[in-house]
Structures are given as structure tokens and as C-alpha cells.
Structure 1
Amino acid sequence: MAGPETTGATDATDTTATGTTATGIAASRKKDAQDMEGLEAGLDALDTVQIRRTSPTEVLVQKVLPPIVAVALVVVIWKLLVVAKVTDDYKLPDPGLVWDALRQLWLQGELLDIIWTSVSRGLFGFLIALAIATPLGLVVARVKFVRAALGPILSGLQSLPSVAWVPPAVIWLGLNDQMMYTVILLGAVPSIANGLVAGIDQVPPLFLRAGRTLGARGLVSARHILLPAALPGYVAGLKQGWAFSWRSLMAAEIIAKSPELGLGLGQYLENQRNNSDMAGVLLGITLILVVGIAIELLVFAPIERRVLRSRGLLASAH
């Protein structure tokens, strides 16, 4: 039978062990808390986007200088080929002759009119295509029967060369602006709609379930959930849709000729071909290329940067 001294010693031992265990648990919890804080700090550092304004010098070096150097290199190679007489002069004119053709158009006051005729048509046709393709893409993406019926047709129309629509459009509508816009729509609508469908397909289902829980259905869900979540794919479709709009318009202007249509870039290019003026042909091609690049850089590139930046996909603001 244990005496009082033994019982007291046992209680003291238990108390000491309990205290040691409690101290170990507290230390373990403290260490876990410190580890968690370190992990959260690391994740916050990864998620943090360092936003800073790009200096004018960086813009000049990174954005402006490279294309200028590339253009200068092309002109130099072109000049060397002319000097080496790799082909007849009428097939490859001197770059100076192209510059003279540009200068002549400017002095005659026709340059801006020619460019504006095509740009205004292209932008207006693109806006119409946007208004048609956006609801069409939403319906195709969300309604299974419509997708099964129209999905393959949209993909087929997207792969069909735009120039194929010019002859039937001329027969249907005649030589007028309505014919031009029809060709643009048939070229741009499938690209924009398919881009939106692809973007919606990549929206996590959790977003839609969360929206339904909050009462977002129908048009409200499309406006506040589907379109914002599908924005990267939608913007890619818009860029491709503009490219198809511009290509379709140039094909229509090259083929269709009428005083009612005015003189656009495509018709100017065709006129120079009929005159066997290779300098004018190269100038027309250059102007078409410059306008396409300018619209991309001034309109779609800023939109794309803003979308990517809002999702933390750009390291700095430009």
C-alpha cells in the first residue's frame, strides 16, 4: 500500500509530464502558425503583381525601335536586290519609286480619302458582325441542340475563303456598299462567334453554379458571369474577326469595281495592276498592311493588355 509520500511523488510526476506535454503542444502549434504565415506570405508574394509605369526610354527601345529596325532592314535588302538586278525593273522597282507614288497621292489629296474609304467600311462592317456574332456565340455555346446544328457550319464558314462570297454577293445585291458589308459579315461573324464559344467552354462550371446560387440566370448570367469569364477567348475571337473583316473587304474591293463604291485600298491596288505600275501595286500592299497593323496596335492590343493585366498575367503596366 502506497504511503502519502508515494502518492505525492506520483502526482508531481504527472503534473510535470502534463506540463511538458502542454509546452510541447504549444510549441508545435506556434511552429505550425509560423509555417502557415510563411506560406501565406510566399503565396502573397507570388500573387502580387509589381505594377510600374514604363519609362519613355524603355518604350522607345522595346516597342518603337524594333519595328523601325525591321522595316529599315527590309528596305536595305530590297535596295540591294534592285542594285544587283536580280530581276527586271518593272517587276521589282526601286524603293524610291514607291515613295514617289506615296508622295504623289499625298500631294493630290487622295491618300487619306483612299484609306478612309476602306477603314470606315471595315470598322462599320466589323461592328455589325460583332452585334450579330456575340448573341449567336452565346446561344451556340449554351444550347446543345443549336450547337449541334450550327457549330459545324460556323467552323466550315470560318475556313471558307472570303473571296468566295464576292461573286454571289454581287449577284444578290449588286455593286454597292451593302454587298461589301455582306462579304465582311460572312467572313467575320464565324470567327467572332467561334472565339466566344471557345472562351465559354473554358469557364469553370463552379462559376456558373455560384451565379445560380446568387440568382444569376439567363441574360444576367451571360452578362455578369459568362462574358467576363470568357473574355480572353472572346478578345482573341475579336482580333481574328477583325483580320477576317479586313481580308474580306480587300477581296471585295479588288474584285468589285463601280463609281458608287468609291476608291478604296483594294480598288487602288487593282487599278495599279491594270496600269502595270508595280510601284503603285507595292504601295497598295504596303498601305493595306500598315492599316491592318495600326488597327491591331491601337485598338486590340490595348484591350488585350487590359484583360491580361486584370487577371494578373502581365508583370508590368505598359
Structure 2
Amino acid sequence: MASSKTTRGAAAERDTDGGTESVREEAAAPTGEGESTAGDLAGLEAGLDALDAVQTKRVSPAEVLVQKVLPPIVAVAVVLALWKVLVLAKVTDDYKLPDPGLVWDALRQLWLRGELLDIIWTSVSRGLFGFLIALVIATPLGLVVARVRFIRAGLGPILSGLQSLPSVAWVPPAVIWLGLNDQMMYTVILLGAVPSIANGLVAGIDQVPPLFLRAGRTLGARGLVSARHILLPAALPGYVAGLKQGWAFSWRSLMAAEIIAKSPDLGLGLGQYLENQRNNSDMAGVLLGILLILVVGIAIELLIFAPIERRVLRSRGLLASAR
């Protein structure tokens, strides 16, 4: 005969048929403990939701001024002040390091003659058009290299080598092949930008989790459909980084071509203006050309590529790294 006796938090069972006795304890959870467990789970769920949520807040104009506008202004002011101190200290001859005021006068003369915007536009239009052509070529090339092992084994090292090759090395053969014309300029830009954009896309695709591709195949996404709706969106951060680097290589390649290849048929760009001032031994004009090349390159990056990068990072909850 078996009998049971229930107490708070335990139940004892006795068995006397075989002359032996066994006792089994069953722990009964108190009501308060169950409520505590449910509360912990709710808190954990809320914490995970908070991690997934993108924390955004409206930035005041004062914060934008302090965090974004003021630092570069201070940096430029420090550089100009140091430049002025070196000039006043006579660390070198005046024709080697002219006063900042002389560079400003050279800029003012270009503006008054109506040449400044024409010079800038000649280079910017070439650079952007060449970059767009490179984008059209490098995107499918990067997809094929990233997804086809045989092609990647053959072209992958070549793309990496082309990316490390100085762009100025392509100017002499491009002049011999095509002559002194815009086609030569665009060829040099393509040879500098295509490897950078393609390698950036390959790096982005390499970081796509295989689970995404398997899920896409399960839903019927294959070939170009998979590339359009799965690979490219998932690889977008790396692709955008490749685009930024591609623009930098485009701009550098164009400046190298404009400095070396000089012809009236090419028009006057920033690189040719810089070379003309060197031929005239006008150091103020040389420094002005360098500053214009630097400012235009940075402006294009900030006005075009930085907003695209922020939008991509914001869509992935990575605002902290976009600041």
C-alpha cells in the first residue's frame, strides 16, 4: 500500500511492500519565484528590443556648429597661423614659402579674370564622368570576381596589383596609345578607379553571411535576382567604402594626367594650372593649385559620398560609427 503526504514545498512517497522505504522529494516553486522569472524574461526582451532600436535624437544647431563646423575651422586657422609664423621667422627664402596673403591674391586674380570656376569645372566634370564610367564597369566585374572562383583566382591578384600601382604610371602609355585628348584622361581615371571599386565590392560580398544566400535560394532568388536583392544590399557598406576610395583614385589619376599631359586641346584644369605655375616659378600659384585640388576633392567627398555613407549606416543602426 502506498500513501502520500504533501507538505509546503515537498511531497513524500512511502513504499512498504518490499520492506524498504523510499522517499521522493519534489520541489514546488513558490508563487513569488514564478513572478520573478516572468519579470526577468520581460526585462530581457525589453533590453533586446532596445538593442535593436536605432537611437536617434534631434541635433541642435549649436551642437552641429560645435561638433561639425568649428573643428575644421579651428584646424585651418591653426595651419594658417603656423604658416604665417614660419614666414615671419624667415625659415627659408620668400620665393620658396610665400606669405599666405600672396596666395590669397592669386586666388582673387583668378576670380576677377573669370577663370577660377572654369578651371575647377574642367577638372570636376572630367573626374565625375570618369568615375561614373568606372562605376558601371567595376560593379559587374566585382560581382563576377566575388562569386566565380576561377575568375577570382585569376583576376583577384591582378586587381589588387592594379590598385597598388601609382596612377601616374599609366599616363605615358595612355598618351602613346590615345594621344593628348579626353579619351586619354578617362583611360587613366578608369585604370585607377575600377580596381578600387571592384575590390571594395568583393570585400563587401565576402562579409555577407551565407545564411542570407541560402534563404534567398529557398525563396527562389538566384543569379541576377540574388545579386540585385541579396548580395548588393547586404554588401552595401563595403561597396560604399569602395566607392569613396574609387573617387579618391579617380581624382588622383586625373590630377596626374593633367600635370603630365599638357595640350591646348585639353583645356585648363587644376592639374595643368599647377604645372603652369611651376613653369613660371610662381610658388604662390603652385600652393594655390595644391589647395584648390585638396579643397575640391574633399568637397566632393563630403557633399556626395558622406551623405550616402551616413544613410547606409543609419539604415543598419550604425549611427555611432557614422558621426
Stretch of structure 1 that moved more, 76-85 or 52-61: 52-61
What are the residue-to-residue correspondences of 1:189-208 with 2, within 5 Å? 189-208=194-213
Match status 1:110 vs 2:143: no
What are the residue-to-residue correspondences of 1:84-233 with 2, within 5 Å? 84-233=89-238
Give the SS at the match of 2:29.
helix
Distance in 1 between the 2:264 and 2:320 partners? 51
Answer yes or no: is the 8 Å Cα contact 2:212–2:230 preserved in 1: yes
Cα root mean square deviation, aligned: 2.1
What are the residue-to-residue correspondences of 1:67-78 with 2, within 5 Å? 67-78=72-83
Instruction: Kindly indicate which of the two structures has a greater share of residues assigned to helix.
Output: 1
Residue in structure 1 matching 2:260, options 223, 243, 255:
255
* Structure 2: unaligned runs, 5 residues or longer: 12-24
2:43 corresponds to: 38
Match status 1:234 vs 2:239: yes
Q: How big is each residue's C-alpha offset from its partner over 1:120-140, in whole Å with a ceiling of 9 and x where there is no partner?
A: 000000000000000000000
Distance in 2 between the 1:119 and 1:66 partners? 26
Q: How big is each residue's C-alpha offset from its partner over 1:203-222, in whole Å with a ceiling of 9 and x where there is no partner?
A: 00000000000000001100
2:299 corresponds to: 294
Residue in structure 1 matching 2:60, options 44, 52, 55:
55
Q: How big is each residue's C-alpha offset from its partner over 1:252-271, in whole Å with a ceiling of 9 and x where there is no partner?
A: 00000111100000000000
1:265 corresponds to: 270
Stretch of structure 1 that moved more, 141-150 or 48-57: 48-57
Per the alignment, do residues 304 and 316 of structure 1 end up closer, same or farther by CA in structure 2, a change over 3 Å counting? closer
Distance in 1 between the 2:127 and 2:183 partners? 12
Give the SS at the match of 1:24.
coil
Quick one: higher RCO (CA 8 Å, sep 6+), 1 or 2?
Answer: 1
2:18 corresponds to: none
State the one-letter code of the partner of 1:41: A
Residue in structure 1 matching 2:316, options 311, 314, 317:
311
Q: Identity over the aligned pairs, expressed in percent?
A: 86
Distance in 2 between the 1:317 and 1:71 partners? 23
* Structure 1: unaligned runs, 5 residues or longer: none
TM-fit CA distance, 1:46 = 2.5
State the one-letter code of the partner of 1:269: L
Distance in 2 between the 1:71 and 1:15 partners? 81
TM-fit CA distance, 1:24 = 2.3
Distance in 2 between the 1:130 and 1:29 partners? 60
Per the alignment, do residues 142 and 249 of structure 1 end up closer, same or farther by CA in structure 2, a change over 3 Å counting? same
What are the residue-to-residue correspondences of 1:280-291 with 2, within 5 Å? 280-291=285-296
Q: How big is each residue's C-alpha offset from its partner over 1:174-214, in whole Å with a ceiling of 9 and x where there is no partner?
A: 00000000000000000000000000000000000000000
Give the SS at the match of 2:319.
coil
Give the SS at the match of 2:117.
helix
Q: How big is each residue's C-alpha offset from its partner over 1:207-260, in whole Å with a ceiling of 9 and x where there is no partner?
A: 000000000000110011000100111011000000000000000000001111
TM-fit CA distance, 1:31 = 3.3
Size of the alignment, in residue pairs?
A: 310
TM-fit CA distance, 1:42 = 1.5
Give the SS at the match of 2:93.
coil
